[in-house]
Structure 1
Amino acid sequence: MFGGGGGLNPRKMQQMMKQMGIDIEEIDAEEIIIRTADEELVFDDAEVQRMDAQGEATYTITGEPETRAASEETIPLGEGDENEAGAGGASGGDAIPDSDVEIVAQRTGATEETAREALEAEDGDLAAAVSRLE
């Protein structure tokens, strides 16, 4: 079916994918970290592609990762002070993210202290904390 001169022309392949609604973009990533409960896979020199098809984004990482033990000192991008414990922590020793406290306080008009207490009482469940205070 695809025999002959070495396969499909890359330009033709891109044209066919575009017609099917598939868009591929190269991402100039400096570092990729995949965290699991036990370890981190760190890609320092990886090729990353994002493929959008039918409203879903798929990322492809090509490269060899360095493996290291999972670290609790890292801060996820875009999450602010999530790893800092506020006034007390949720049951189980987990800290309530400051961003969650702010959301509940803004939504209900409560103080941040009251919002944190409600979140702790509801094990960090935003909707339940808001319901508790409304």
Structure 2
Amino acid sequence: MNPRKMKQMMEQMGIDVDELDATEVVIRLEDGSELVFDDADVTRMDARGQETYQVIGEPEERESTAGEVEAGETDGESGGIPEDDVELVAARAGVSAEEAREALEATGGDLAAAIDRVE
């Protein structure tokens, strides 16, 4: 089937497909390892509100770096909350950095929950 016809049929069924300009995709596995895709082709498909992502590329397997904090990324009083997360919550929710930090600490570092909490 030609790509133009396929796209037309998908639009008729309410399916939107977008190519994402991803530079890296990381999948963290339960065993503590990660699959890292550099320069992967990523496609997002939205079918009536349900989003799915397709990642095409060759992964490199490595040990997980989740939870590791680089020196200088947090201050001593933050309780391990990265400054970037505090700034993000503060900017998205339109609150002070102190309010953002409190919300992040209360939600265990969950960005979305912290934003919801202060909005």
Q: TM-score, normalised by structure 2?
A: 0.59
Residues 2-36 of structure 1 show CA distances to partners (whole Å, capped at 9, x for unaligned) of xxxxxx34332211111111111223433222234
Aligned twin of 1:87: 76
Q: Is the 8 Å Cα contact of residues 81 and 105 (structure 2) preserved in structure 1?
A: no
Identity of aligned residues (%): 46
Match of 2:11 among 6, 11, 18: 18
Rg bigger for which structure?
A: 1
Deviations 1:31-61 (A, max 9, x none): 2222345122111242221112212332100
Matched pairs, number: 105
d(CA) in 2 for partners of 1:25 and 1:121?
A: 35
Q: State the SS of the aligned residue for 1:11.
A: helix
Q: Deviations over 1:59-111 (max 9, x none)?
A: 10012201001125578xxxxxxx83323353xxxx124344873xx74x7x8
Query: 2:27, 2:64 → 1: CA distance?
Result: 10
Aligned alpha-carbon RMSD (Å): 3.8
**Could you tell me which amino acid in structure 1 is paired with residue 60 of structure 2?**
E
Following TM superposition, by how much is the alpha carbon of 1:124 offset from its aligned partner in structure 2, in angstroms? 4.2
Residue 52 of structure 1 is aligned with which of 39, 46, 50? 46
**Could you say which structure has the higher strand fraction?**
2
The one of the two structures with greater contact order (alpha-carbon pairs below 8 A, sep at least 6) is 2
Give unmatched runs, 5+ long, in structure 2: none
Q: 1:53 to 1:86 in 2, by over 3 A?
A: same
> Any unmatched runs of 5+ in structure 1?
1-7, 76-82
SS across alignment from 2:22? coil
From 62, 67, 88, the equivalent of 1:68 is 62
Structure 2 partner of 1:41: 35
Classify the secondary structure of the residue corresponding to 1:96: coil
Distance in 1, matches of 2:53 and 2:77, equals 38
